[in-house]
Amino acid sequence: MDSKYSAFTFKVPNKIQKPNHVNFNGNGIKRPRLDDQQTKLCTNGSVPAKQRKLLPVYNVRHRLIAEIQKTPTVIIIGETGSGKTTQIPQFMHEVNMEKSGIIGITQPRRVAAITLSSRVAEEMDCKQGELVGYTVRFEDVTSSHTKLKYLTDGMLLREAMLDNLLMAYSIIVLDEAHERTVHTDVLFGIVKQAQAVRRMKKLAPLKIIVMSATMDVDHFSNYFNHAPVVYLGGRQYPVKVLHAKHNQEDYVFSSLVTIFQIHKEAPPNHDILVFLTGQEEIEAMANSIRQIALELDGKAPQLKVYPLYSSLPSQQQLDVFRPTPVGMRKVILSTNVAETSVTISGIKYVIDSGMVKARSHHPGTGLDMLKVQKISQAQAWQRTGRAGRESSGFCYRVYTKQEFDSLLKNSIPEIQRCNLTSVVLQLLALGINTLEFDFIDKPPREAIVCALEQLKYLGAIETVDNPGLTKLGMKMAQFPLDPRFSKILLSANEYNCVEEILSIVSLLSGESIFFIPPNKKDKALAARQKFVSPAGDHITLLNIYRQYSSLTVKKQWCQENFLNWRNLHYASEVRTQLQELCRRCNIPMSSCGQDYDQVQKCLITGLFMNIAEIQRERQYMTVGSRQIVSIHPSSTLFGSQPPCVLFTEVVQTGRCYMRQLSRIEPDWVMDIVPNFASKHRLTAHVT
């Protein structure tokens, strides 16, 4: 065993051993590149104007602009960090390419849209919301002066519902195209059509720019009528890749161990970027690191830990980008957002857990799942590349070379593995039949049919064969929510509980409001007990929200009760927006007071596909999809065994767990969704 891997003050089993070395040779872009003069990198991190000139894209800007001007659609490929997202929109604006329109730049994640807009506003020396702004779900920081608008792909799709020709835009940049999110994939078809129709009708032209770090270029170029491809030269320093010698049972623990192995030896200001899967995991690890750091002897540099995930409040997101104070070390714990969407300077070490949390859908059973799963080789290389942005670096893969070899070469596009209910509804609102839509890669037919069936049960369409939107369906499409939650909100008036449902849906739209530090778990759970309702998690959430909103001093109360103030605050902002949408849809406010059955019944109107019945000791089976599931340990119903439950989602971590549950009566299901209930007979009614 190599001593490098064992000399820690906390007890580390000999899990990670000295891994093999592999050389990293960039990501293999072979086509000719535009000239790129070698420039020296700026190390003084606070002068954006100077930094801009040092980005690879700067030297080729004139040729780039000429290429973009030549054709209606251009595909631009370049290394992460070469300046595509922040610079190219500015170059276009400098020559007034947008004319009287707007340049819209889409991002798959809100965290990226917000931080990029903030960065570009800083570079252009303007306030956010003026020349440069952003729009993400529940937040719009733009004005009539905005020319450069960073927005999530989901938001642009919503705008297309109001104007399918997207006339406000003269240029649309579909960024991070390699991510292939469902929304980006759908947008490809929408903007392609908008461009063609605008040309045909002799309206103002629409320029489309597709940008990506890596992607199957020919596939994209063919789809966009053989659009030209521009390759940006980028620099990528060599990164030494190290694999774990043996299989690791626990990637979180192994990543933690690796952080301190690096920390003990690496010089200060050599920062570490760790790829993990989600908020809870990241916050728990951040806590562990801070604890362990306190116990280390004084020789190692001081550690500063920064979490980075999509639902992180804007201010905290920006903190990650500040240069590390001299003599310290930054450790960034990120989801896959740092893979390509955002670039953080100073990273010398990458630790790759090899895992990612992704939504997946089983079209056969209709069950939707959040699943921690293995990344693809392409993702592994992207993560590796983050260590070689400014100088040579290291990438520690917490998995073996054999495991790497067994990973999929490329990730499967989301559209081929996720629930399409939302997309199908949005396309219907645009007057498009999903089965005939010009997808770059078609989703499986059965997934579309499954989505149509769900929409029929929800009352959004009349029949699967002739899917025109009902009045209810049109209303559902207006809410920026999963159709199941839109349905719940639109049913709330009938159950006299609009206030309550607004609160619950808002809380479910953000990340968990519970803050449970591993070392204070008992205290945190005791604090939660005060709010717990025997009805389950939804009513527990409601109890918390009711108290929260009645207080004037909220922050301290949250701290005392182990609640995440920021996430509660976010929920309250979401609630305000949804309330406004309800007002516009003429839904009057109403409250059921303490009659919680009304709330539970209302939840069934949208979540009836998420019902499970007990089979035997602690084991449940979902109605309809017939999956074996258990109650997640984080649920307030964990330990009790109600015969019938409604759940918000299923997560798979080894076993399948239902999260956020309510105890319900089978009779209610029969009353509320008789068609569904009789098709998938609930056991209580089998005679």
Q: Which residues form the interface with Mg ion (CB under 5 A)?
A: 84-85
The only residue of 86, 288, 334, 353 in contact with ligand CDP, by rule CB under 6 A: 86
Residues 29-68 that bind ligand CDP (CB under 6 A): 55
Under the criterion CB under 6 A, does residue 135 sit at the interface with ligand CDP? no
Q: Which residues contact 16 (CB under 8 A, 6 or more apart)?
A: 5, 244, 245, 246, 248, 254, 257, 258, 261, 398
Q: Which residues contact 576 (CB under 8 A, 6 or more apart)?
A: none
Which residues is 273 bridged to in the sheet? 332, 350
The one-character DSSP state at 411 is P
Residues 608-667 that bind ligand CDP (CB under 6 A): none
The only residue of 146, 212, 334, 343 in contact with ligand CDP, by rule CB under 6 A: 343
Q: Which is nearer to Mg ion, 85 or 662 (CB)?
A: 85
Q: Which is nearer to ligand CDP, 148 or 481 (CB)?
A: 148
Q: What is the 3-state secondary structure of 300-361?
A: CCEEEEEEECCCCCHHHHHHCCCCCCCCEEEEEEECCHHHHCCCCCCEEEEEECCEEEEEEE
Smallest distance from ligand CDP to CB 119, Å = 4
Under the criterion CB under 6 A, does residue 80 sit at the interface with ligand CDP? yes
Cβ atoms of 156 and 187 within 8 Å: the answer is: yes
User: How do strand 139-141 and strand 132-136 relate by DSSP bridges?
Assistant: antiparallel
Residue 132 interacts, among Mg ion, ligand CDP, none and using kind-specific CB cut-offs from 5 to 8 Å, with: none
Q: How far apart (Å, rounded) are the C-alpha atoms in residues 417 and 404?
A: 22
Under the criterion CB under 6 A, does residue 81 sit at the interface with ligand CDP? yes
Cβ atoms of 361 and 319 within 8 Å: the answer is: no
Residue 558 interacts, among ligand CDP, Mg ion, none and using kind-specific CB cut-offs from 5 to 8 Å, with: none
Smallest distance from ligand CDP to CB 352, Å = 19
Cβ atoms of 254 and 15 within 8 Å: the answer is: yes
Helix (H) / strand (E) element for 103: namely strand 102-107
Under the criterion CB under 6 A, does residue 345 sit at the interface with ligand CDP? yes
User: Which positions from 136 to 175 touch ligand CDP by CB under 6 A, shown as an x/- string?
Assistant: ----------------------------------------
Largest CA distance in the chain: 79
Binding region for ligand CDP (CB under 6 A) out of 75-83, 470-478, 517-525, 549-557 = 75-83
Which residues is 361 bridged to in the sheet? 368
Q: How far apart (Å, rounded) are the C-alpha atoms in residues 608 and 606?
A: 6
User: Which positions from 106 to 125 touch ligand CDP by CB under 6 A, shown as an x/- string?
Assistant: ---------xx--x------
Smallest distance from ligand CDP to CB 182, Å = 21
Q: Which is nearer to ligand CDP, 123 or 280 (CB)?
A: 123
Smallest distance from ligand CDP to CB 211, Å = 7
Q: Which is nearer to Mg ion, 85 or 115 (CB)?
A: 85
Q: Which is nearer to Mg ion, 382 or 561 (CB)?
A: 382
Burial environment of residue 352 by CB neighbours within 10 A (0 to 12, 13 to 18, 19 or more) = buried
Under the criterion CB under 6 A, does residue 416 sit at the interface with ligand CDP? no
Among residues 454, 562, 569, the alpha carbon closest in space to that of 509 is found at 569
Beta-carbon count within 10 A of 282 CB:
23
Q: Which is nearer to Mg ion, 384 or 419 (CB)?
A: 384
Smallest distance from ligand CDP to CB 39, Å = 13
User: Where do contacts with ligand CDP occur on this chain (CB under 6 A)?
Assistant: 55, 78, 80-87, 115-116, 119, 321, 343, 345
